[in-house]
């Protein structure tokens, strides 16, 4: 088990260093009321006074009231400034425009929300001279369980090396609200959505593989396949490399 007292010190120093080198005045992040955004918010607030958490409902009513309450609870406990920006109308307008000549797939429609949220975060960041903090953990990154140019985009990420198991351990160390840790992990992309059900893979199995290299043949095979298929998400765009010029 990690020493989370030392982890806290190292990560807050990392955040301060990133801010100092960027010349930015603060940090903005999406406060979804989930485990990862909760940890990122706490770490950023302990490193910096100017931290803004943005709650961004976007049409889907999945646990909207509960998630909003959890996001506000976290913000109050740790002194994080919070605003709400409703992106529902923007999403509906975008989908309506696309319907004039395109037939968007269900997956494409679902991924509009995280991309709109990141658009808003960067608009706020540029307006305030802030940096955007990412919230994707190691487990999600390994299997590509994030939206490219959506929640996968950021200026820095203070939790990208932590598995889901370690995120929960860190939150307990920091005294985060218990009700946040009791919720089933969900990206909230559609009604009734649960991460593990959608993946057909438990975070317990995924983390056991990442941390101990253990797992059933079925789980290891699925993890390997998901990792391979999502490799493009973890890389910068592929540039053409022509013949070397003299």
- Which run of H or of E encompasses 53? strand 51-55
Q: Cα(first)–Cα(last) distance of the chain, in Å?
A: 53
Residue 159: strand pairing partners = none
**148 Cβ neighbours under 8 A, 6+ residues apart:** 232, 233
Consult the annotation and say whether 245 binds a ligand: no
Backbone φ and ψ for 61, nearest 5 degrees, come out as -95, 10
Consult the annotation and say whether 148 binds a ligand: yes
Consult the annotation and say whether 5 binds a ligand: no
**166 Cβ neighbours under 8 A, 6+ residues apart:** 2, 138, 207
Backbone φ and ψ for 236, nearest 5 degrees, come out as -70, 160
Consult the annotation and say whether 155 binds a ligand: yes
Q: Residue 167 in contact with residue 159, Cβ under 8 Å?
A: yes
Q: Residue 4 in contact with residue 165, Cβ under 8 Å?
A: no
**84 Cβ neighbours under 8 A, 6+ residues apart:** 54, 55, 56, 57, 68
Consult the annotation and say whether 115 binds a ligand: yes
* CA distance readout (Å), 113 to 34, 91, 120, 147, 189: 16, 7, 11, 10, 8
User: Which residues fall in the annotated binding site for deamido-NAD(+)?
Assistant: 115, 148, 155, 232-233
User: Which residues fall in the annotated binding site for ATP?
Assistant: 135, 186
User: Which residues fall in the annotated binding site for Mg(2+)?
Assistant: 36, 140
User: Which residues fall in the annotated binding site?
Assistant: 36, 115, 135, 140, 148, 155, 186, 232-233
């Amino acid at each position: 088990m990690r020493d989370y007292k030392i982890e806290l010190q190292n990560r807050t120093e990392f955040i301060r260093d990133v801010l100092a080198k960027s010349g930015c005045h603060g940090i903005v992040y999406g406060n979804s009321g989930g485990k990862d955004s909760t940890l990122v918010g706490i770490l950023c607030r302990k490193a910096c006074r100017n931290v803004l958490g943005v709650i961004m409902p976007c049409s889907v009513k999945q646990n909207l009231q509960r998630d909003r309450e959890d996001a506000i609870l976290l913000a109050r406990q740790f002194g994080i400034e919070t605003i709400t920006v409703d992106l529902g109308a923007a999403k509906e307008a975008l989908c309506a425009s696309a319907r004039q000549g395109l037939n968007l797939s269900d997956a494409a429609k679902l991924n509009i929300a995280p991309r709109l949220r990141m658009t808003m975060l960067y608009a706020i960041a540029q307006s305030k001279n802030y940096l955007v903090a990412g919230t994707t953990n190691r487990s999600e990154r390994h299997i590509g369980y994030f939206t490219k140019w959506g929640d996968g985009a950021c200026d820095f990420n203070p939790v990208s090396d932590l598995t889901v198991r370690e995120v929960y351990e860190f939150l307990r160390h920091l005294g985060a609200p218990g009700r946040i840790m009791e919720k089933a992990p969900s990206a909230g992309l559609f009604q009734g959505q649960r991460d593990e059900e959608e993946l057909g893979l438990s975070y317990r199995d995924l983390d056991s593989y990442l941390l101990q290299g253990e797992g059933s043949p079925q789980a290891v095979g699925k993890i390997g396949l998901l990792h391979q298929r999502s490799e493009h998400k973890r890389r910068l765009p592929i540039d053409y490399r022509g013949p070397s010029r003299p």
